[in-house]
Structure 1
Amino acid sequence: MVKRLTDICAKGGFKLSKWISNSRTVLMSIPEERRAKEIKDLDLDTNQLPVERALGLQWCIETDKFQFKTFLQDRPTTRRGILSVVSSLYDPLGILSPFSMPAKLLLQELCRQNLKWDEVIPHSLSQRWRDWLEDLQLISKFKVERCIKPSCFGRPDKAQLHHFSDASQDGYGTVSYLRLEKNNITHVAFILGKARVAPLKQTTIPRLELTAAVLAVRVNMLLQKELQVRLEKSVFWTDSTTVLKYISNETRRFNTFVANRIAVIREATDVNQWRYVSSKENPADDASRGMRAGDFLKCRRWIKGPEFLYRSEKEWPKLDMEYRVISADDPEVKKDLTMNVIVKELQNPTSHLIHYFSSWAKLKISVAWLLKMKEALALLAQKRKELLAAGKGGNRRYSSKRIVDDGESLKCKPGCKRLGAFCETTNKNQCFGKASDKTYFATGSRIVKKILNED
């Protein structure tokens, strides 16, 4: 490979130099003038290979492991000083996510208390900061394998990504592993870890668990694109049965927050890719809660993965209970809107009239009054037409004519009271009345007059 790369670049006029490798055989094949200056004077047979920087990380060439170089900076105990120290710990792969989580929580607490950037933090918080700085010195002892596959492993028969997610009141996180199989031999390698603090606004644990699941899905999409390995379908692990219920749901409708995140998960994954793992076996629990340096250095699970990944799939954790049923009183389920409609059939006017009166005699009297009113209105209409015709013949202009007998008050007749259900007004004096030989009728506020002959 060294010779091929050198020849290709030489054709374009580029001369490759500063070569370095963890293989002494490869280094010996490279001319001394083209080696990195740190190994030019080394005796490759006896001397130990140095530590170099590779993509911002400390690479121990002799052991082929990544390590972290830490040193205490003289910074004030303010928000600005703390952020400067925490940011100096370069960790693009999230290897130190459980250890860096307490420092992130401390910065969030300073933001919650609205402390200014250059304001000295309270004594209770400064003690937490000093404890974290003491732990920072221990991180220089931490090392992790650079290669995700052992040199003697060869080409794997099966490669599969496993993503673990978890959340707590403090934060949420995810960690991804690559599981390789060859000749019934299994190797699990750490790929990527992420840890994030929970929002300042109070959020329920199921929502944070769902957010962590979405983060795992996005990490999977990234690794599927970047890893140049033929991968089988990824497996996603969570210790939240609520999240598993939401993902497998086919009947319920959720509130906007949950619905949007479920849409992202269902679009990128299948329901059968999600599995349950207990909190004790979930390595993402370390990222969501944070760890002290001493516990982190002793923790094998974060880097090596849970023990069950080294066993066959039949021995992986399974959830005994049924998790596909979501109760209707779940706070994230949209309430069903129930509408009650009463359909009232139109009743026949004759039937309504018959059922309105309690006796046959009252019904007959009322019908008689209605018929009499009908005749009076018909004669009134004919009289009005005659008056209008006479007015036009005499070239007189009529706008309207109200026929009211001056000086006489209208008195309601006894028979009129029985027609109360059919009058639009409640004023008895505006219904029916009689004065001398004149009978008056009224509908609403319009008074009509008809001269009737006495029976």
Structure 2
Amino acid sequence: MDQSWDFRLREELIRELGAILKIYMGLENIKVPRNAHQGHQAALHVFADASKQAFGVASYMVTIEGKCQLLTAMARVTPKRMLELDESQSIPKLVLNALLFGCRLAQYLIELRPETYVSTTVWFDASTALQWVHSRQSTSPYVLNRVEEINRIRLKCLLLLKHVPTSCNPADLASRGVAAKVVLKSNLWLHGPAWLIDVSACPNQSIFPTEWEIKACPIRLLPP
């Protein structure tokens, strides 16, 4: 747009800007406690998701006292080149990138406080990407390179990879984008799924952990 700094925006741009600003109204009312660590051991849960708009991740700490708190979350705009792929290929690859994004975040948090987390689980809602990670049978160099890094982090940090229903995945909010007023009222976003601290409500696990995962890093949902 080749215009001077004080030119008047076109009406359609003014309306578009107004709609964007409306989405962020109330953002200042969202409060997330900063003092997350009280010296107790905890379980770390990282959720990952992807859409045509963005990759999203959100991490939560569950203490032995039964408190669940949002630690950190972020989103990254989906690369344009990935949107040009056939949808049957692009969606699984988007989710694979989101999974890698989540594993990197988990590694960062573990290395930041290695004495804190007794177990770490990365959750996402696409079975195709999980099958790629477990089988390592894809013929695509793009997929294999990312699977190699995911497995390297998984072995180093003893991560469990688990499937979660989309309705229980807080990273879905980050990947598709929601208004600030939705985030403000969302317990899913601020505190994670209720079953993180209630084992009896945990969704059935249809996706397998490997024998190595069961022995090396059993999932431990800490009691309330």
Of residues 198, 203, 217, the one that matches 2:78 is 198
**2:140 partner amino acid:** N
- CA offset digits 1:364-409 (Å, max 9, x no partner): xxxxxxxxxxxxxxxxxxxxxxxxxxxxxxxxxxxxxxxxxxxxxx
Paired residue secondary structure (2:189): helix
Alignment-derived partner of residue 351 in structure 1: none
Mapped pair 1:295 → 2:151: no
Could you list the per-position Cα deviations for residues 187-218 of structure 1 after superposition, in whole angstroms to 9, with x for gaps in the alignment?
11111111011111224111110001111111
What is residue 163 of structure 2 aligned with on the other side? Answer: 276
Q: Deviation of residue 238 (structure 1)? A: 0.5
More helix by share: 2
CA gap 1:206/1:294 in 2 versus in 1, 3 angstroms:
same
Is contact 2:50–2:94 with CA below 8 Å preserved after alignment? yes
**What's the CA shift string for 1:11-62, capped at 9, x where partnerless?**
xxxxxxxxxxxxxxxxxxxxxxxxxxxxxxxxxxxxxxxxxxxxxxxxxxxx
Q: Is the contact made by 1:175 and 1:193 (CA closer than 8 Å) also made in structure 2?
A: yes
- Greater radius of gyration (CA): 1
Runs of 4+ in structure 1 deviating by more than 3 angstroms, as ranges, are 115-126, 134-137, 319-324
The residue number in structure 2 matching 1:236 is 122
**Matching residue of 1:188:** 68
Which residue does the alignment assign to 2:58? 175
Read off the aligned partner of 1:175 and give its amino acid letter: A
The one of the two structures with greater contact order (alpha-carbon pairs below 8 A, sep at least 6) is: 2
Spell out the pairing of 1:358-373 with structure 2 (5 A cutoff).
Answer: none
Query: 2:15 maps to what in 1?
Result: 127
Q: Which residue in the other structure is 2:24 paired with? A: 136
- Counterpart amino acid of 1:159? A
Q: 1:292 to 1:257 in 2, by over 3 A?
A: same
- Alpha-carbon distance change, 235 to 322 in structure 1, aligned in 2, over 3 angstroms: closer
Q: Secondary structure at the match of 1:169?
A: coil
CA-to-partner distance for each residue in 1:278-309, whole Å, 9 max, x for gaps? 00000000000111122122112111111110
Residue 223 of structure 1 pairs with residue 223 of structure 2: no
* Superposition pairs of residues 251-270 of structure 1, within 5 angstroms: 252-270=137-155
Q: TM-score, normalised by structure 2?
A: 0.78
Secondary structure of residue in 1 paired with 2:46: strand
Match of 1:143, SS?
coil
Contact 1:178 1:191 in 2 (8 A): yes
How far did 1:230 drift?
2.7
Give the TM-score normalised by the residue count of structure 1. 0.40
| 1:126 to partner: Cα distance | 3.8
Residue 253 of structure 1 deviates from its aligned partner by 3.7
**C-alpha separation between the residues in 2 aligned to 1:117 and 1:167?**
36
> What's the counterpart of residue 47 of structure 1?
none
Say which SS state the counterpart of residue 52 (structure 2) adopts: coil
Partner of 2:36: 148
Q: In the comparison of the two structures, how many residue pairs are matched?
A: 200
In structure 2, what residue type is equivalent to 1:145? P
Match of 1:245 in 2: 131
**1:167–1:288 CA contact under 8 A, matched in 2:** yes
* Identity across matched positions, percent: 25
Match of 1:24 in 2: none
1:137-166 alpha-carbon deviations (Å, 9 max, x no partner): 4222222222215xxxx753x412111000
